[in-house]
Amino acid sequence: MRLALHEPDIPQNTGAVLRLAACLGVGVDIIEPCGFVLDDKRLKRVGMDYLNAVDIARHASWARFCEVRALGGGEGRLVLLTTAAETDYQDFRFAADDVLLCGRESAGVPAAVHQAADARIKVPMAPGARALNVVAAAAVVLGEALRQTGQLPGGRG
């Protein structure tokens, strides 16, 4: 299982996702361009000491991310976390090789990315709430996905 960030806007959120991924033992795909400069120095600053514990793959564009997935056999479904989904995450059956895709904090993902997703899921919220922070949504959904697939660290699931 992997997390993918589509053109992230906020370096602190990217750092928090990297920490989440390191702690839960999943890799992260960062699909550029980012809304901030993502060089080695800045990546180290946002990822703190968790960078050595997470498999990070950077992709220059959405097209390149898709090419890399195709070259790897296209393994795993692309599961988009979006407020526009009909399916609640707890009603979704995750697979061990799913890639959980989170959109840009300011704009989500474009229509072409929505169409490319194999599934779209949402975290249900209280009436009037617009959206969770991308890190909170990723943590809630990733936790359930790892639980369902028996991949939670510590052997629980």
What CATH number is associated with residue 28? 3.40.1280.10
Q: What local confidence, expressed as pLDDT, does residue 52 receive?
A: 83
Q: What is the 3-state secondary structure (H, E, C) of the chain?
A: CEEEEECCCCHHHHHHHHHHHHHHCCEEEEECCCCCCCCHHHHHHHHHHHHHHCCEEEECCHHHHHHHHHHCCCCCCEEEECCCCCEEHHHCCCCCCCEEEECECCCECCHHHHHHCCEEEECCCCCCCCCCCHHHHHHHHHHHHHHHCCCCCCCCC
Is the distance from CB of 32 to CB of 60 less than 8 angstroms? yes
Average confidence (pLDDT) per 10 residues, the chain, 157 residues: 96 89 96 84 68 90 94 85 96 98 94 96 94 95 97 77
Residue 153 lies in a domain: no
How many structural domains is the chain composed of? 1
- Domain coverage including residue 103: 2-148
pTM for the model = 0.92
Residue 12 lies in a domain: yes
Q: What local confidence, expressed as pLDDT, does residue 43 receive?
A: 66
Residue 36 lies in a domain: yes
Number of Cβ within 10 Å of residue 114's Cβ equals 15
